Amino acid sequence: YSRLKSFRLAIASVFGQTQSEWQLLIIDDCRNPGNEESRGKLKDERIRFINLPERCGEQSGPNSVGMALAKTPFVAFLNHDDFWFADHLETGLTSLQAHQADFYAGRAVFAKVSETDTLQLEFPEVSPSNRELNGVFQHKLPYFEPASSWILSRAACDAVGPWQWSNNLYRTPLQDWVLRAWRCGLRFADGNRVSVIKLRLMRGYGEHPEALSALDQDLSTDEDGLR
């Protein structure tokens, strides 16, 4: 929302996937007028735009709408300011099938801007390996964040249901969804390969264009080196 450069880079990471059989639902949280320019440039039959009639202000609403509208056998999330490495979908789908699982989570690295150099990115955290669904109860948020690292089967979406609103919960909506998935007995496949970049680059509600440009350059020229 009002972060167009991040949004464009996120969309580019979808088009760069080695798994090319995808459909993209772009859920606008009560459309930002600035998104119209980007929408006009995205002429692809695999893309569908949905504009919510009221602003949700959190990911629960858009995620639930996307899950309900998706007609594919698997559903993956991508926040507007996160990025997938090119093999994210391929790796996740292979893991789901190999483990006969319902819920896959790849590993995510968390990026921030250096305090001494605005063009230098630092990566202070990475989600752990050897996770279990009920571990979200004991661990801090990076344990299963971001939802951009998830790939779910259609059956998993239907079994757990929509995301709950934050003002109705004692935990975050993400933690709540994972715990409900555990209670439903979903089979989980834990990724051991970093396949998502989670950005912590925002200045208030704005963006950090220098850092985003630097990240875009790294992704486009040496993705394996960046990983």
Which tens digits make up the pLDDT trace of 15-68?
999 999 999 999 887 776 555 555 556 778 889 888 888 888 788 988 999 999
| Enclosing H/E stretch for 50 | strand 47-51
- Collapsing DSSP to helix, strand or coil, 227 comes out as coil
Strand 103-113 to 188-200 pairing: parallel
Residue 203 carries which DSSP code? S
Residues with Cβ within 8 Å of residue 216, at least 6 apart in sequence: 9
Please enumerate in sequence order all residues whose Cβ is within 8 A of that of 92, keeping only pairs 6 or more positions apart, or say none: 76, 104, 106, 151, 189, 191, 195
C-beta of residue 200 within 8 angstroms of C-beta of residue 111: yes
pLDDT in tens, 122-155: 888 899 989 999 998 888 778 999 999 999 999 9
Peptide bond just before 146 cis, omega within 30 deg: yes
Task: Give residue for tokens 């391929």.
Answer: 90
Q: Residue 63 corresponds to which tokens in the numbers above?
A: 């995620």
d(CA 114, CA 23): 36
What's this model's pTM, rounded to 2 decimal places? 0.89
